[in-house]
Amino acid sequence: MPIIQPVRGKAPQIPEDCFVADNATIVGDVCLGKECSIWFNAVLRGDVHYLKIGNKVNIQDGAVIHATYKKSPTTIGDNVSIGHNAIVHGCTIHDNVLIGMGSIVMDDCVVESNSIIAAGAVVTKNTRVESGSIYAGVPAKKVKDISKELLVDEIERIATNYVTYSSWFKD
């Protein structure tokens, strides 16, 4: 059974059409949108500030979503994929974004819509990722503009596929 528990009087809000893996952890002030999937060993900690997650968001295996006490909540838009073992902390992720495997997005960053954070990238505090761009490296910098093909072939495809994958685990 997943760990889903209130903290300081605030309980996670999880729509019935979401999938939460058996060993995922969701605690505190966490609000999920429709058709979300929270995968194995993922941790969503709304203990120190709120986590607001849009529709059709997949948070893949081992990812950690957290915030900064009384300072930086985490807000994630619609149609977002958070890759395996990524860390998203106290930041804002807009719609149609792919956060690559093992990447880190730090406090007070804003990742604008239709963007990709490459696998292993570290987006340092207060960075603003331009809409329609790909950021990579440590620290992450813009490496190129995103093509319309990548937008459809990667961002949209992955988000849609994860809705399908999650259906395989539902009774």
- pLDDT above 90 for 151: no
Which three-class secondary structure string do you get for the chain?
Answer: CCEEECECCECCECCCCCEECCCCEEEEEEEECCCCEECCCCEEEEEEEEEEECCCCEECCCCEEECECCCECEEECCCCEECCCCEEECCEECCCEEECCCCEECCCCEECCCEEECCCCEECCCCEECCCEEEECCCCEEEEECCHHHHHHHHHHHHHHHHHHHHCCCC
Q: What is the CA radius of gyration of the chain?
A: 15
pLDDT score for 4? 98
Domain ranges of the chain: 3-167
Is 70 exceeded by the pLDDT of residue 45? yes
Residue 84 structure tokens? 């395996």
The confidence score (pLDDT) of residue 171 equals 67
Averaged pLDDT score across all residues of the chain: 97
Yes or no: domain 3-167 corresponds to CATH 2.160.10.10: yes
The whole-number pLDDT of residue 88 equals 98
88-138: pLDDT as tens digits? 999 999 999 999 999 999 999 999 999 999 999 999 999 999 999 999 999
Residue 37 pLDDT exceeds 90: yes
| pLDDT given at position 150 | 84
- Give yes or no for a cis peptide into 139 (omega within 30° of 0): yes
Of 51-55, 129-133, 134-138, 149-153, the poorest mean pLDDT is in 149-153
